[in-house]
Amino acid sequence: MTVVMLHRYSRCNHRAAAPGVANPSLVHILGYMVFCRAEYAGKTESRGMDLSYLEIKGGVPLCGEIEIQGSKNAVLPILAACMLGEGVCIIENCPFIGDVEDTLEIMKMLGCRAERDGRTVSIDASEVKAYEIGGTCAARIRSSVLFLGALLGRMKRAVIPLPGGCAIGARPVDLHLWALGCLGAEFTGRDRIIASAKRLHGSTVKLPLSSVGATENTILAAVQAEGDTLIENAAREPEVDELCEFLNQRGAEIARLEDNSICVRGGKRLKGVRYCMKADRIVTGSYLLAAAATGGRIRVRNDSCRNLQSLVRVLQQMGAEIDCRDGATVLSSDGRLFAVPYLATAPYPGFPTDLQSPMMAALCRAEGKSRICETVFENRFRTADELKKMGAKIEICGKCAVIDGVEKLRGALLAAPDLRGGAALVIAALQSQGCTTIRDMTYVDRGYESIERDMSLLGADIKRYR
C-alpha cells in the first residue's frame, strides 16, 4: 500500500513572509508534499458498494438535440465561494453529479443550509461556525481543497483532510499552500492540513505553474484579504473566469489583465446572488466526440464551443463538420474519421487533458496512426488497457500513446478506470460491434449527470442496471 507522506519542514510549520518582505521560498514550501497516489485515491474514491453497470449495444449513429448540464469544474469552486460574505446564493443549472452532492454534504457539515430543488441549489452560509472538514466526503473529491481558501477567507482557520479524486497521477497541493502563505496563512499538520492566519493581506503571487486549483484558492482567500492581490501566471481556464464572474456579481472587484494576470481588490462586502451555471465544456466535448465516432449528427443547444476551439480544430482535422453559431453547436460525421498525427494536452487554451481519454476512444477506428502526448498528468493512459480489450491497437511510449486505427471494435466487459476514462469507454462502446458492459460507474457519475439518459436521447441503445 502506498503511504501518503507529508514531509516536514521547519517542524511542519511554514510562516509566510510579512508584508513588504519577499514571498516565501517555493523550494522551502515544496518540502510539504501532499500526493494523491493511485492506491490512496482508489481507496478513498468509493461511495459505498455501487453495483450498477451500463450495457451498450453499439453501431447506432447518434442523432438529435441535447442540452448540456452545468459545468462541474466551475460549480465546485463557486459552491466553495458561497461560504464567503452574506446573504443567500442561488445557483441555477447546478448539475446532479456525485462531486456536487459530496460538496453540498461538506457545506452542511460546516453549518451551511443547502437545499436543492431540481437543478437549483440554495446556499445560506450565515450560520457557519465550523472550520474543520471530516474525511469521508472530502477524501473522495479533489476540489475539497478549495475550502482551504474559502475557510481562511471567512474564519481565518481551516482544517481539511488530504484531498481525494481520480487516480490519474500525483497532484500535489504545494502550490495552494505556497500561494496562501503569500497572503499570510500558516500551515501545520502531518495527516491533514491545518491552516490559520492572524490576518490575510494582499500580495503579489507569482505562480511558478499555471495551476487552476491554486489560482482559485488564492482568489477565494484574496477577496477577504486586506488590500490588493495580483496573481501572476494565473490559470486561464474558463472555469476560473466563471468563478470571478460569480464573485463580481456578489460585489467583489476582480479583473483579468491583458497579460492574463488576475487582480483582486480585497475586503469588499459580498452579498447574495442568483447565478446560472454555464454549460460543461468537457461534457460537450465528450458528446461531440461520441457523435463523430458513431457517424451521427447532433445539435448542442446551450454551448457554442467558444471555449472548445482546440477540440473544434482537431475534429475538423478528423473529417467532422462543425458549425458553431447562435449559441449552439452542430456536428455532422459519416463515421469515417482520419487519424491525428500529433496532439498534446496543455493548459487552456490548449487541448484539455480531460478530453484526452475520450479523444483516444474516438481515434481507435480512425484511418491511420494517431499520437497523443499527455503533458498534464502522468497516469492518464489507464483507459488504453480497457480499449485494447475491445480490439484497439494502442501502444504507450512514456508520455505518449500511439493509436493505430482498426476497422472495428468489438463489445467487451470493461471497468471504468476514472471519470474521463469511463466516458471514453462509453464512446468506444457506442461505435463497437456487439454488446459492451461497463462497470464501476461511480467514477462517471462524479462528472456526468446521467450519461445513459443523454445518449438514449440521441438514439443510443444503452441501459443502466442496478
Residues carrying an active site annotation: 166
- Order of strands, edge to edge, in the sheet holding 186-188? 14-15, 186-188, 192-196, 157-161
Identify the residue whose cell numbers are 457557519: 128
- What is the distance between the alpha carbons of residues 74 and 376, in angstroms, rounded to a whole number? 19
> Can you give the length of the chain in residues?
466
Give the number of other CB atoms < 10 A from CB of residue 201: 20
In 233-278, at which residue ranges do the beta strands (DSSP E only) sit?
A: 253-256, 262-265, 273-276
Rounded to an integer, what distance in angstroms lies between the CA atom of residue 154 and that of residue 157? 8
Contact 438, 88 (CB under 8 A): no
DSSP string over 366-386: SBSEEEEE--S-TT--THHHH
Alpha helix ranges (H) inside 165-280: 174-182, 212-222, 238-249
For residue 83, give every residue at least 6 positions away whose Cβ sits within 8 Å of its Cβ, in sequence order, or none.
107, 110, 112, 125, 128, 147, 150, 151, 153, 154
Phi-psi region of 116 (alpha: psi -120 to 50; beta: other; left: phi over 0): beta
- Return the residue matching grid coordinates 503533458: 375
Main-chain dihedrals φ then ψ at residue 405, nearest 5 degrees: -60, 135
Half-sphere exposure of 357 (CA within 13 A, CB side): 29
Q: Name the residue with cell 458561497.
A: 82
Could you tell me how far CA 147 lies from the centroid of its own chain? 15
d(CA 465, CA 396): 33
Residues facing residue 88 across a β-bridge: 124
- Do the beta carbons of residue 100 and residue 76 sit within 8 Å? yes
CB atoms within 10 A of CB 24: 17
